[in-house]
């Protein structure tokens, strides 16, 4: 199924297409890869930030039709990064 929106309503009404595009812009222009591992959320500890960032960049490049975007994974990761480092 082809999607043309980054919206993730399952995460909440604030996760509109425009909001998620803003998170992507922040990630691409302002986010700096941390030198040390970090706790992304209550479950996930990122041991190797460089690998995590490369994988996130690859999934963003798939666009909003990619599986992680369709189910809100990318959006949630970006939100958590912004919350921690933004």
In a domain, 54, yes or no: yes
Give yes or no for a contact between 31 and 25, defined as CB atoms under 8 angstroms apart.
no
In a domain, 3, yes or no: no
> Tens digit of pLDDT for each residue in 65-80?
999 999 999 999 999 9
In a domain, 22, yes or no: yes
Give yes or no for a contact between 82 and 74, defined as CB atoms under 8 angstroms apart.
no
Q: How many domains does the chain have?
A: 1
> Tens digit of pLDDT for each residue in 28-85?
999 999 999 999 999 999 999 999 999 999 999 999 999 999 999 999 999 999 999 9
**Is the pTM higher than 0.85?**
yes
């Amino acid at each position: 199924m082809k999607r043309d929106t980054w919206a993730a309503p399952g995460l909440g009404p604030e996760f509109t297409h425009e909001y998620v595009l803003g998170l992507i812009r922040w990630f691409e222009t302002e986010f700096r890869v941390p030198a040390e591992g970090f706790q992304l959320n209550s479950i996930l500890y990122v041991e190797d930030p460089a690998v995590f960032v490369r994988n996130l960049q690859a999934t963003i490049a798939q666009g909003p039709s990619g599986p992680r975007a369709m189910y809100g994974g990318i959006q949630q990761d970006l939100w958590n990064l912004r919350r921690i480092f933004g």
